[in-house]
């Protein structure tokens, strides 16, 4: 497969949130040790200025690319023994983390908090603020969320007078084709961009190429992963009768931005989509 199938579900279910038994006072992060079990969480911690407080991360986390010693597993498989030896104050997990892992960590006196489902900007923002509360960075988290909301409001105002609601295919995988379904933050991105999710009525991520052709998208956004994004764009360009091809409206969108549910990524993805669609 051009995309690892497990990664597809990671796009939708990597969720956010952390806790600590005793909340830190604002700015008092000296000595705080954090283990992050998701790339999105690690990015948020870095944005909050807590890069040096991360003592453990996954192989998918950017912070671990230059420091392999930080790796304690992936979002799906975790080295519990290594985490226990690190003696972290907080372990930030996702719903992809095995319950057995969470139970082992808790039995060893480690505080674990599992992120809530991130299916909208509001839920992503709430998780981020909660992370800020538990790590002494609440004010900074709230400031970032406020700035992001202002940006979202200004972007949606720009397109408020658009009459047509274009049909959008947001493609996450190519073999098989995976797309966005309702009740996901990516579906909200489509709505905020003034469009209609091509598969608004689906409850499964996998669709056929034939079904895409029949629904005739006006725009196609393809998340990049290696060279497969370019390959997939070339494949779609062979179908000359669909609107997205006729009007040259097929765009590649960075998977590292679109697929990780953080406040900043959400805003950057929305801005990218709106600029490509209308300007």
Q: Could you report the average pLDDT of every consecutive run of 10 residues in the chain (279 residues)?
A: 42 39 57 96 98 97 95 91 98 92 96 93 97 95 98 96 93 91 97 97 95 98 81 95 97 92 98 96
pLDDT score for 14: 40
pLDDT at 3: 42
Which residues of the chain form beta strands (DSSP E)?
A: 34-36, 54-56, 90-93, 112-114, 167-174, 177-179, 196-197, 206-207, 219-224, 250-254
Backbone angles phi, psi at 206, to 5 degrees: -90, 130
Q: Sketch out the chain's domains with CATH numbers.
A: 5-140 (3.40.50.1980), 159-278 (3.40.50.1980)
CA distance readout (Å), 28 to 19, 138, 223 = 15, 11, 38
pTM: 0.88
pLDDT of residue 174: 85
The half-sphere exposure of 275 on its side-chain side, counting CA atoms within 13 A, is: 8
Joined tokens for residue 105:
């960590």
Torsion of CA 252, 257, 260, 262, to 10 degrees: -140
Amino acid 30: pLDDT: 80
């Amino acid at each position: 497969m051009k995309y690892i199938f497990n990664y597809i579900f990671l796009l939708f279910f990597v969720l956010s949130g952390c806790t600590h038994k005793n909340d830190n006072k604002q700015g008092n992060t000296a000595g705080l040790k954090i283990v992050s079990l998701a790339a999105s969480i690690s990015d948020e911690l870095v944005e909050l200025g807590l890069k040096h407080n991360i003592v453990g991360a996954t192989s998918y986390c950017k912070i671990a690319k230059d420091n392999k010693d930080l790796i304690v597993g992936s979002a799906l498989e975790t080295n519990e023994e290594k985490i226990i030896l690190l003696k972290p104050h907080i372990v930030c997990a996702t719903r992809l983390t095995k319950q057995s892992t969470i139970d082992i960590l808790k039995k060893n006196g480690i505080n674990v908090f599992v992120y809530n489902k991130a299916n909208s900007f509001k839920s992503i923002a709430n998780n981020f603020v909660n992370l800020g509360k538990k790590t002494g960075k609440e004010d900074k988290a709230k400031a970032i969320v406020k700035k992001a909301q202002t940006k979202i409001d200004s972007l949606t105002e720009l397109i408020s007078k658009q009459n047509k609601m274009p049909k959008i295919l947001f493609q996450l995988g190519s073999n098989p084709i995976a797309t966005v379904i309702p009740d996901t933050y990516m579906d909200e991105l489509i709505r905020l961009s003034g469009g209609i999710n091509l598969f608004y009525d689906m409850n499964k991520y996998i669709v056929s190429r034939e079904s895409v052709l029949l629904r005739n998208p006006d725009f196609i956004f393809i998340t990049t992963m290696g060279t497969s994004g370019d390959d997939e764009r070339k494949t779609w360009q062979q179908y000359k009768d669909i609107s997205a091809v006729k009007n040259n409206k097929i765009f590649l969108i960075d998977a590292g931005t679109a697929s990780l549910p953080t406040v900043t990524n959400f805003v950057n993805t929305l801005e990218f989509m709106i600029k490509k669609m209308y300007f």
